[in-house]
Amino acid sequence: MNTSLFLPALLILHLTGLTIMAGTTIVDFTVFKTFWKHFDDNTEKSKGILAGTSKSSTLIGIGAALLVITGIGMMALTHGVFGEQLWFRIKIGIVLVLMLNGIIFGRRQGQKLRMIMNNNGAYLTEQVDQIKVNLNIFFTVQLILFFSIVFLSVFKFS
C-alpha cells in the first residue's frame, strides 16, 4: 500500500472528523447560551432555539466515527508505532473520557431538558437550574478535553 499517499489522506479525514465533532460542540454551547437567555421570559422562543440542536448528536456521531475509523486506519498503516508512545496512550485515555462524558453525562442533560420543554412549562426551578449548571460543566470539560487531545497529537512528546 502507498503509505505516503494514504497516511496524509487519512489525516485529512481525521481532521475533518475533528472539525465536525468539535465544531458542533462549540455551536451547541453558544446555542444553549442563547436558549438560557430566553428561557425565563419566552418559552416558545427558547423551544425553537433548542430545536436548533436536534441534529447535533447525529453530527457528533459522524465526526466521532470518522475520527475513530481514520485513527485506526493510520495505526494500521504505521504498524502501530504510535501505540507504544506515551502521548498516544494518554490521548486514547482522554478520547475515552470525552466519548463517555458525551454519551453518559451530556446526552442525559439534553434529554432531561427536552422532556421539561415538552411538558409545557411544568418543571421545578431547582431542576432546571441544576441542568443549566451541569450543561455548562459538560461543555467546558468537552472543550478542555478536545484542546488537550489536539495539543498531545501535535506535540507528540514521548
Dihedral angle at the C-alpha atoms of 64, 66, 71, 72, nearest 10 degrees?
100
Q: Show the CA angle centred on residue 107, arms to residues 65 and 95, nearest 5°.
A: 40
Shortest Å distance, C-beta 147 to ligand HEM: 9
x/- map, 128-157, ligand HEM, by CB under 6 A: ------------------x--xx--xx---
Which of 100, 107, 117 has its CA nearest to residue 49?
A: 117
The stretch near ligand HEM (CB under 6 A) out of 10-18, 31-39, 101-109, 136-144 is: 10-18
How far is it, in rounded angstroms, from Cα 127 to Cα 20? 31
C-beta separation of 127 from 116 below 8 A: yes
Q: Which residues contact 77 (CB under 8 A, 6 or more apart)?
A: 1, 3, 6, 7, 10
**String marking each residue 86-105 x if it binds ligand HEM according to CB under 6 A:** ---------x--x-------
Region binding ligand HEM by CB under 6 A among candidate stretches 13-21, 24-32, 44-52, 110-118 = 13-21
String of contacts with ligand HEM for each residue 43-82, x by CB under 6 A: ------------------------xx--xx-xx------x
Site for ligand HEM, rule CB under 6 A:
7, 11, 14-15, 18, 67-68, 71-72, 74-75, 82, 95, 98, 146, 149-150, 153-154
